[in-house]
Structure formats: structure tokens, C-alpha cells
Amino acid sequence: MRALRLTAWGEPPTQTEVEQPVPHGAEVLVRVEATGLCHSDLHVIDAAPGALPYRLPFTLGHEVAGRTLALGPDADGVAVGDRVVLYGPWGCGDCDRCAAGRDNYCDRRDTLAWHGAGLGRDGGMAECVLVPSARHLVPIGDLPADQAAPLSDAGLTSYHAVAGLRHALEEGTTTVVIGVGGLGHLAVQILRATTPSRVLAVDVREEALALADRSGADFGTLMRADTAGVLRKRSGGAGADAVLDFVGTTQTLELAAGILRPGGELAVVGSGGGRLTVSKPGVLPPGFRLSLPFWGTRPELAEVVALAQSGAIHVETEQFPLSAAPEAIGRLRRGRVRGRAVLVP
């Protein structure tokens, strides 16, 4: 079968033919219908040797939807032909976090040689993907594959980040979303669907602000020198109750810290490598709370799928054949993707 594999750090992935896997034990083989291309794939491709615990080579792709094709003799809870989305974070399977469907916070995360499908283990940028157990699958019914695949990371990560802030997002509050790409446009919709908070969006691209608008944001503005002032005014003067940063550079972290009101919450999702200095006293508002949410839980993935099935959220996608992955990757690098790029084998 065809697969897009990372064979050397810092080099573009290569399309190669590999053996189609055979499921053993509790494993499930899934025929891939669609796989999302995440900005994290670029961070992985560009990683310096030794920066990530993964062993090369492996097949990329951690946002995967498809249909089960074959089952190992011990696989249960799933039948051949089921349409599913992959729960991408694969933990050790033994710790209490994994037992509760919280593989994203597996206790052994640092000692495993992977973080999940397409992240150190063979993922879904291929015709088929081998899943260790049916506990990593969530049914999607007749949800189109290009909709379902991005839910497993862009949707789930955004949902998990919003869930961590929900207690602070009552009526009359303001949330700022920085970076309205694959994750950010779903975060705007999830905020809209699950909280009464006013949503303000920031991006460096006009096209992304148009997407924020279509996603239900109350207001969008370009990242400029006066953005903090513009956002503060739009919040009613007090500042933001919460900021979701899907970029994570020093510039966006400083904007976030600068517009939070006392008791405000900052969730940093983007892996932009920026820095923010914590000191007391200092510039951060009193009561400031910071979180670094990573991916999401299996029960949350089922909730995100239900939101999509109800029509409350919709992924904007641009589809590419798997053979055009280099073009899709190039466009994502240049900031030319609207919503999520999805590869179809």
C-alpha cells in the first residue's frame, strides 16, 4: 500500500510502497478514507534529530477517519465495516489515565517512543492504518470522512482546551482566539456552541478573519501594534476573561498576557516556541492562570463527533489526493490553507 513516511529529520516525507499490515491480538486494521494535515506535522517534519522520542521511519498522519477492514482475533467492541475516527493519542494502555480514556495525559508519555498514530507510530497518511486496540476508535456513522478526520485533533484539542476554560466563560464574558486556522476555526465554533462568551478573533491573514466570521466570531482583527487596545475596547473595556492561543510565539503570548483581565485564563495550544516570563510582582494580571492543554480524551472525542453530527460545528476543508501531499504541506507552510487540508488516499 502507499504511505507517506518520514525517513529523516528535517527532510520532506517520502511516498513509498509498504506492506499492508495484518492485525494480530486486539489490533484493528482501518482502511483510511481521509487524514487531516496538522501544523504539528510540520513541527514533526522540521524537528531536530533527538528533539522527539520517535524512531524513524514512520508513516505520518494523526487525524484519521475510515472504515474497519480486518480484526485481530482478540479485537472486540468493533465489527468489520464500521466507520470510525481514530482517537490519536496512544498511551501505555496500563496506567489509570489510559484506563480512563485519558491517553493524552498517560503517565508513561515520556518513556514511550511515540505520542500516538502518526507521531512515532505508523499513522493515517496511507491506504490503511493499524490501530493497537478498538479503544482507540470512535464510531462516526455516516459523517463524511473529510469532516470526521479533523475532529480527532483540530476538533478534539480545541474542545478539550475550551472545556478547561468553561467554568470562566459565563454570560457577559469575552474570549479571544489567536490563530484561526485548522484548530482555531473549530475553537470559535465550539465556544459558540457550548458557552455564552463573546468571541474575538486575531490572525495575521484577512482570509482567516473571514473564516472566523463564518465560524461565528463576534469580531476579528489583524495582528498589529494596536491589537491589544482594539481587543480591550471590544471586550467592553475590562479585557478578556480567557485567551486561547493557537500560535504560541512570544508575540502572541505577550498579547494574550496583555489583554487578560484580573483572574483571566490563558490556554496555550500552539507550539510556536515562544516565552512568557512569570514573576511576582510582574506584568501578569493578579489571579492569572495558565494551562498547556494537550490533545483531548476519548470521551471528549465522542462528544465532538456528536456536536458535528448535530450540525453545531462544521470543518472547512480543502481536499488533496494523498499523492499531492507535498503540495498540501507547501501550502500549509505558506499560510495558504483555509481551515484544514485533508488528504484522501
Q: Is residue 315 near Zn ion by the rule CB under 5 A?
A: no
To the nearest whole angstrom, how small is the minimum distance from the Cβ of residue 175 to ligand NAD?
15
To the nearest whole angstrom, how small is the minimum distance from the Cβ of residue 161 to ligand NAD?
8
Binds 106, which of Zn ion, ligand NAD, none (CB < 5 to 8 A, cut-off by type)? Zn ion
State the helix-helix crossing angle for 325-333 and 39-46, rounded to 10 degrees.
90
Residues forming beta bridges with residue 31, ordered by sequence position: 67, 128
Residues forming beta bridges with residue 84, ordered by sequence position: 66, 139
To the nearest whole angstrom, how small is the minimum distance from the Cβ of residue 270 to ligand NAD?
4
Binds 227, which of Zn ion, ligand NAD, none (CB < 5 to 8 A, cut-off by type)? none
CB 220 within 8 A of CB 209: yes
Q: Is residue 230 near ligand NAD by the rule CB under 6 A?
A: no
Long-range contacts of 43-52 (CB under 8 A, 24+ apart): 43/271, 44/6, 44/119, 45/6, 45/10, 45/11, 45/12, 45/13, 45/329, 46/10, 47/9, 47/10, 48/9, 48/10, 49/9, 49/10, 51/9, 52/120
Q: Is residue 150 near Zn ion by the rule CB under 5 A?
A: no
Residues 6+ apart with CB under 8 A from 270: 39, 178, 179, 245, 246, 247, 248, 249, 252
Pick the closer one to ligand NAD by CB: 131 or 269: 269
- C-alpha distances out from residue 342 to 46, 85, 115, 228, 294, Å: 20, 14, 21, 34, 21
Pick the closer one to ligand NAD by CB: 217 or 247: 247
Q: Is residue 252 near ligand NAD by the rule CB under 6 A?
A: yes
Q: Is residue 71 near ligand NAD by the rule CB under 6 A?
A: no
- For the sheet with 58-59, list strands across it: 14-17, 2-6, 58-59
Helix or strand (DSSP H, E) at 255: helix 250-259
Q: Which stretch binds Zn ion (CB under 5 A): 15-23, 68-76, 86-94, 271-279?
A: 86-94
Q: Which stretch binds Zn ion (CB under 5 A): 5-13, 40-48, 70-78, 227-235?
A: 40-48
**Cell numbers describing residue 266:** 490563558
Write each residue from 267 to 306 as x if it is in contact with ligand NAD (CB under 6 A), else as -, in one continuous string.
--xxxx--------------------xxx-----------
Burial class (CB in 10 A: 0-12, 13-18, 19+), 316: middle
Q: Which stretch binds Zn ion (CB under 5 A): 20-28, 145-153, 167-175, 252-260?
A: 145-153
To the nearest whole angstrom, how small is the minimum distance from the Cβ of residue 6 to Zn ion?
14
Q: Is residue 264 near ligand NAD by the rule CB under 6 A?
A: no
Q: Which stretch binds ligand NAD (CB under 6 A): 32-40, 68-76, 118-126, 256-264?
A: 32-40
Site for ligand NAD in 158-197 (CB under 6 A): 178-184
CA pair distance 264, 332, nearest whole angstrom: 32
Q: Is residue 214 near ligand NAD by the rule CB under 6 A?
A: no
The correct pick among 146, 153, 265, 300 for binding Zn ion (CB under 5 A) is 153
To the nearest whole angstrom, how small is the minimum distance from the Cβ of residue 246 to ligand NAD?
4
Q: Which stretch binds ligand NAD (CB under 6 A): 69-77, 166-174, 213-221, 248-256?
A: 248-256
Q: DSSP 3-state assignment of 160?
A: helix
Among residues 171, 213, 167, the alpha carbon closest in space to that of 188 is found at 213
Binding residues vs ligand NAD (CB under 6 A):
38-40, 43, 153, 157, 178-184, 202-205, 208, 223, 246-249, 251-252, 269-272, 293-295, 332, 335
